[in-house]
Amino acid sequence: MRIALIGLAAFCAKTLEALIKAGEEVVVVGTAPEPDRGKPVADAAQANGIPCIQPSRWRDPDVYKKFSSYTPDLGVMAFVNDKLPGNILQCPRLGTIEYHPSLLPRHRGSSAINWAIIQGESRTGLTIFWVDEGMDTGPILLQKTVDVSPDDTVGSIYFNTLFPKGIEAIVESVKLVREGKAPRIPQDNSKATYEPPIQESHGLIDWSKSVADVYNLIRGTNPQPGATTFYKGKKLKIFDSGRRFDLDKTLVPGAKVTQPGAIVDINADGFAVAANGGVIQVKRVQPEGTGKTPAKDFVAQSGLRIGDKLGS
């Protein structure tokens, strides 16, 4: 079975290696021309002697002509964040399948992992589905469920779980297609959710919300785009954090965990901030106009003190 693999970055590059290891025939690879997204894939293709195309516009007629010349039986999309034209998706004889990091039809859209964590879900998963003209709406081929720990971030759940399990699921799905055993299970649209691509504006912290909501927002925007608050009128993004259960309203002399956004503790790991019903320990931040830095360094540089307040 002749496979056309399309995707980006390390996920697609590792998928290519896994398909080759499984004995599958990958006849062409497509990726982006930008070095940060396309180079890992192009390098993997070159290392394995597989043609690689890197079009700036997939809708260009010459791109379809070149792509179709490889006469693929199956298209495989492994981390694609652009909508490809229908002629590319329909070119393979058996159609095209795609990896998506949620249990479709829940969390359709390009920021599925972010929203699952922001919404405090304890379970998520991945789906391999048959691509159609909609946004993540095609029939389901295979799904895997994974647990989300209370302290997982987007980075940890992706790299530790959804990345490796996703590659395994793609290889398993390709085998099912090759053997004629791949199902096409319609999605239940009545259970569908769709969230927009995560933007900086989605990560604005409201310290008056519950400590769980604030913590989930920080986890769900780490490593990108970060959760945003303000200190002395300047933007401050929060990344690595934790929940504090050892601070109550009387532990810190002179500080009461009564005002959301108040700094209630400064310690070796950084500083702690009051939210509604609890405290957030901040470990890594990004002050406006600078790079990410340990929170303890920000304390030393900014003069942050107990009793100061974060927020707009």
Helices of type H across 128-227: 154-157, 163-178, 211-220
102: pLDDT strictly greater than 70: yes
- Measured CA to CA, the distance from residue 74 to residue 93 in angstroms comes to 6
pLDDT in the model for residue 57: 94
List own/partner pairs for 250-259 with CB under 8 A and 24 or more apart.
Answer: 252/306, 254/306, 254/307, 255/306, 255/307, 259/309
Q: Average pLDDT for residues 170-191, to the nearest whole number? A: 98
Average pLDDT, the chain: 94
| Whether the predicted pLDDT of 260 surpasses 60 | yes
Q: Which two tokens stand for residue 144?
A: 């895997």
pLDDT band (50, 70, 90) for residue 248: low
CA 247 vs. chain centroid, Å, equals 32
- Evaluate if residue 258 carries a pLDDT over 70: no
| The two three-digit tokens of residue 132, written as one number | 């159609």
- Reported confidence tier of residue 81, pLDDT bands at 50, 70, 90: confident
pLDDT, one tens digit per residue, over 142-178 is: 999 999 999 999 999 999 999 999 999 999 999 999 9
CATH of domain 200-302: 3.10.25.10
Write down the pLDDT at residue 82: 84
Does residue 285 contact residue 236 with C-beta atoms inside 8 Å?
yes
Residue 20 has pLDDT above 70, yes or no: yes
Which pLDDT band, with edges at 50, 70 and 90, does 277 fall under?
A: confident
Q: Where are the alpha helices (DSSP H) in 252-308?
A: 295-302
Cite the residue boundaries of each domain of the chain with CATH code 3.10.25.10: 200-302
Does domain 2-191 fall under CATH 3.40.50.170? My reply is yes
pTM of the model: 0.93
pLDDT confidence bin for 247, thresholds 50/70/90: low
pLDDT in tens, 205-232: 999 999 999 999 999 999 999 999 999 9
Residue 311 is predicted with a pLDDT of 94
Could you tell me where in the chain the CATH 3.40.50.170 domains are found? 2-191
